[in-house]
Amino acid sequence: MRKKVLGVCLAVLAIVTASRGQDAQIPVEPGAMTKNPAFAKVRVDQRLGAQIPLDTEFTDEDGKKVKIGDFFGKRPVLIMPIFYRCTGVCAIEMESIIASLKRTKDVQIGKDLEVIAVDINPRETPELARNKRIQVVNEYGNRATLPNWHFLTGPTSQVTKVTNAIGFYFNDDAKADWVDHPSGVVIATPKGIVSRYMLGMTYEDAVLRQAVGIANQEEVGKASTELFFGCIHVDSATGKRTLVIENVLKVLAAFTIIGIITFIAGFSLFKKKDASQPGDNA
């Protein structure tokens, strides 16, 4: 029996090994996974408690020179590293955060939260930022909050000071004029301390509410997790999601082996218990 089970385990491992190197993918519905496993640089390292460099200089949506610290001090700040011509991950991410903010009535922009979009494409302009800002505020549905949405542009040297501080790593392909990047937002305290990460492209209202509340107390929350990292690949250019077969097989193999080991342990205990029972002498 044990030899047969061992054989099954080895067969599962063989399937997984054979799948290595495959890039077989199939379309899937929208999910929460965001990082692109094809790019080692595209990732988020959660740096809870890190200080955001408040002296970094940017250009705002009106072409005015500002420091990111100008938008801190009064309330928690949501930082979203995106670029404005992105119609894939960025657009989905923005739609999701707007939807969550609209549902979460006790987190109001301008009263409880400030929003900063940091443009990770250094070739984009304040004009693009201004148009994106208007579009987003219109979608949010409250024009009175316009002064509390900040869409910044700036040189790579300044952008990476902020993104490196929050552990947000991306791949800027200058030749293609495109940026591959993970998806997620950072909630910072009024003093600019990284308090919480919300990773993925769907944001739970309760998590947002809790994150803002914790940040408002100048406290640091817990790390965020991503289930089955790498199983879903989202194309940052198109937003198209595909299921990465290799990684799914690894996950299934892990669960299969765990199940088999659990079965062996349970079966062994049953046999020992059965053997300990006295036989029928009638």
Residue 249 lies in a domain: no
Rounded CA gap, 159 and 81, in Å?
Answer: 9
Residue 144 lies in a domain: yes
Residue 153 confidence (pLDDT): 97
Residue 28 confidence (pLDDT): 38
Residue 88 lies in a domain: yes
**C-alpha radius of gyration, the chain, whole number:** 24
Residue 260's contacts (CB-CB under 8 Å, 6 or more residues apart) are 5, 8, 9
CB 262 within 8 A of CB 269: no
CB 48 within 8 A of CB 223: yes
Residue 274 lies in a domain: no
Residue 176 confidence (pLDDT): 81
Residue 30 lies in a domain: no
Q: For residue 77, what are the β-bridge partners?
A: 114, 188
What number of other Cβ atoms are within 10 A of residue 170's Cβ?
23
Q: Is the pTM of this model over 0.85?
A: no
- Order of all β-strands in the sheet with 241-244: 25-27, 241-244, 232-234
- Which helix (H) or strand (E) segment holds residue 5: the answer is helix 2-19
CB 221 within 8 A of CB 76: no
Rounded CA gap, 19 and 15, in Å?
Answer: 6
Helices 89-103/126-140 angle, 10° precision: 40
Residue 181 lies in a domain: yes
- Write out the two tokens for 109: 């922009």
Nearest to 193 by CA among 269, 97, 79: 79
- DSSP 8-state class, residue 105: T
Residue 29 lies in a domain: no
Q: What is the CATH number of the domain that holds 56?
A: 3.40.30.10
- In the chain, the number of structural domains is 1
For tokens 């029928």, name the residue.
Answer: 280
| Average pLDDT per block of 10 residues along the chain, 282 residues long | 48 43 40 46 89 98 97 97 85 90 94 97 95 96 96 96 94 82 92 94 89 97 63 43 46 61 66 59 45
| Boundaries of domain holding 234 | 43-241
Residue 180 lies in a domain: yes
CB 118 within 8 A of CB 161: no
Rounded CA gap, 202 and 195, in Å?
Answer: 19
DSSP string of 124-175, one letter each residue? --HHHHHHHHHHHHHHHT-GGGGGGEEEEB--HHHHHHHHHHTTEE-EEETT
